[in-house]
A and B are shown apart, each in its own frame.
Chain A
C-alpha cells in the first residue's frame, strides 16, 4: 500500500454564511489548491463529504459541487458517516490513493445548515439517531449526550463545572482562530448560567449550527515528496456502535472511540503519550471529556480532572481543540472531520500563530458520528 500525505489545506469562515453549499465548497477548495500550488486540472478525483442533503434542499449534492468546482468529467463520489463524515471522506481519499486508483485527490467536507430554521435543522439531525424505536421520545442530540453526561457524573463524580471548563477553554482557543464561528470569551459562570438545553447540558455546553467547508489535497508518497511540507496520514482507526441508545452496553464511554483509537495507535505505531495535540469531537462538552478517556489521555473517569488541571490547554500535557473545537469554531457537520485535519496540518507545519503548540510533531483527530455510531480516529505526522 502506498503512503498518503496532505499537501494542501483550505478552510472557510464558519458561521451563518450568505453563501450556497457549492460556493462554500469552492472557497475551501480554492484555498487548498492555492496552498498546494495546484489547479483543478491537476487533480485525479474528488471526494465530497456531506451529512444531509436535506439541509441544502437537494438530493445528490456531490454532483452539484463537482460541477461547480469544474472537476467533471473526472471521478467523484459523496461519503456519509453522520457527524464523522469529514473523517470518512479523508479515509475514502486515503484508500483511493493507497490503492493506486488516484495520485492526487481533493477531499471537501461541507454543510449548509443555516438555510433552514434551527427547529428544522434539529429535526433533520434527530433522524441521525434511531428513527424506528426512539424518535417518538422526542430526544435531541443534546439529550443523547446529556444521558451520557448524567451517567458519567453519577459513576465518576464528574461535575457541571468540569463540563463548563471544556467550553471556556475552547472558546478561549477560538479567539485566535479567524475561521471560528464564535469569537466570544466566556467564563465558567457564563456556562453555568446559560439556558438549560438538556440537563445537565446548557447552551454553552453545546456547539452552534454553522455553515462551512474545509478541504485537503491528498497525494501519493512519490508526489507528496515534491511538496514543501507534506503531513503524513500515519494511522487510521474506525469503529461503529448502535444508533439505538437502548442497545448500548455502556453510557459512560463511546465504546467505538476506544476501539478506533486502539486501531489508529497500532497502525501509526504510537502511544497516547506520543500525541502532541488532539482535535476531538466536542459537539457537547461531555464529548470532549469522554474523548480524553476513550483516547487514553487519562484513565476512565478522570477526564473531568484532566481539564480541571489545565492539561488540555495550549501549554498543557496534551492540548485539545486548539482551534476552538466544534464548541466554538462551529460544527458544519460534513466539514468537521476535514476541518480537524486542517488544524492539525496547520499546527504540524508550525503555522498556527498565537495558538501554536510548540514543536508539535504528531496530531490526532477524533470524530464521532451521531450519538456514537461511527467513530474515526486519524493520526497525522510531520
Chain B
C-alpha cells in the first residue's frame, strides 16, 4: 500500500520497493531478504541476483556502525534546494557512508559535526528523517555520531 510516494526520497517515483519510504516514515531503515536463498540486500531489491527469486521479505537494519568515508560539498548541485533537510547549510553540507555492524553501507547526511570533528572509523548510527521542503514531504537518512 502506498502511503507516501518513493519520490519523497528519490528522483524516481515508480518502484516495487515503495514500502522502503513508508518504513522510513515510521522510523525504520529496512533492507530485503530473499525468501529462497536468504541473501540480504540493502538498498532493498525485489529480485535476487544470486538465485533469481522474486520472493522477499522486509528486514530492519542494525542501524549502528562506523563511518567509512565522507565529504563536505561546497559546490552544490541545484537540486539541493529540493532535498536538503532543514538545519543543514546549503553551501557546506557533510554527507557520508557508514558500514553497519551487519556489513551494509548506508549513505546519509551527517548531523551535528563540523569538518574538523569528523574521523573515519568513528561510531555512528543511521536514522530516518522526515521533513517538509518547498511544500513537499521528504524522507531521508541522517548519520549521527554515537555517544
A159 at the interface (CB under 8 A from B): no
- Residue in B42, B107, B138 whose CB lies within 8 Å of A134: B107
Per-residue A-contact encoding for B68-83, CB less than 8 Å = 1, 0 else? 1111111111111001
B11 at the interface (CB under 8 A from A): yes
- Residue in A126, A135, A198, A245 whose CB lies within 8 Å of B75: A198
A137 touches B95 (CB 8 A): yes
CB distance from B112 to the nearest CB of A (A): 17
Q: Lowest 8 A-B CB distances belong to which pairs? A: A146-B71, A199-B72, A151-B69, A154-B120, A147-B69, A196-B74, A133-B43, A246-B105
Per-residue A-contact encoding for B89-125, CB less than 8 Å = 1, 0 else? 0000101110000001111110000010000110000
- Residue in B15, B73, B96, B115 whose CB lies within 8 Å of A138: B73
B77 touches A119 (CB 8 A): yes
A179 at the interface (CB under 8 A from B): no
Residues of B within 8 A of A134 (CB): 107
CB distance from A211 to the nearest CB of B (A): 21
Residues of B within 8 A of A127 (CB): 11
B32 at the interface (CB under 8 A from A): no
Per the bound structure, the CA–CA distance linking A264 and B71 in Å amounts to: 33
B77 touches A138 (CB 8 A): yes
- Residue in A131, A150, A196, A247 whose CB lies within 8 Å of B69: A150
B74 touches A151 (CB 8 A): no
A135 touches B71 (CB 8 A): no
Residues of B within 8 A of A140 (CB): 73, 75-77
B53 at the interface (CB under 8 A from A): no
Known: A132-B12, A138-B93, A154-B121. A195 touches B74 (CB 8 A): yes
CB distance from B21 to the nearest CB of A (A): 11
- Residue in A131, A195, A197 whose CB lies within 8 Å of B10: A131
Residues of B within 8 A of A198 (CB): 71-75
B75 touches A147 (CB 8 A): no
- Residue in A123, A137, A143, A197 whose CB lies within 8 Å of B108: A137
A142 at the interface (CB under 8 A from B): yes
Per the bound structure, the CA–CA distance linking A126 and B79 in Å amounts to: 10
**How would you classify the secondary structure of chain A's contact residues: helix, strand, loop or mixed?**
helix
Per the bound structure, the CA–CA distance linking A136 and B108 in Å amounts to: 10
B105 touches A150 (CB 8 A): no
B68 touches A151 (CB 8 A): yes
A38 at the interface (CB under 8 A from B): no
A142 touches B75 (CB 8 A): yes
Tell me the nearest residue of chain A to B140, going by C-beta.
A136
Per the bound structure, the CA–CA distance linking A248 and B72 in Å amounts to: 20
A137 touches B74 (CB 8 A): no
B9 at the interface (CB under 8 A from A): yes
Interface centre among A120, A137, A142, A245 (most CB of B within 10 A): A137
Residues of B within 8 A of A131 (CB): 10-12
Residues of A within 8 A of B75 (CB): 140, 142, 195, 197-198
Interface centre among A132, A134, A136 (most CB of B within 10 A): A136
CB distance from A87 to the nearest CB of B (A): 26
Per the bound structure, the CA–CA distance linking A269 and B143 in Å amounts to: 47
Tell me the nearest residue of chain B to A206, going by C-beta.
B75
B84 at the interface (CB under 8 A from A): yes
CB distance from B68 to the nearest CB of A (A): 6
A138 touches B76 (CB 8 A): yes
Residues of B within 8 A of A137 (CB): 83, 95, 107-109, 140
Known: A150-B69, A154-B120, A246-B42. A138 touches B79 (CB 8 A): yes
A199 touches B97 (CB 8 A): no
Residues of A within 8 A of B138 (CB): 136
Tell me the nearest residue of chain A to B120, going by C-beta.
A154
Per the bound structure, the CA–CA distance linking A123 and B12 in Å amounts to: 15
Per the bound structure, the CA–CA distance linking A68 and B69 in Å amounts to: 47
Since A138-B93, A198-B75 are in contact, a sample of 18 more A-B pairs with Cβ atoms closer than 8 Å, ordered by chain A residue number, is A120-B78, A122-B78, A126-B79, A132-B11, A133-B10, A134-B107, A136-B9, A136-B140, A138-B80, A138-B84, A140-B76, A142-B73, A143-B73, A151-B120, A154-B69, A198-B72, A246-B43, A251-B69
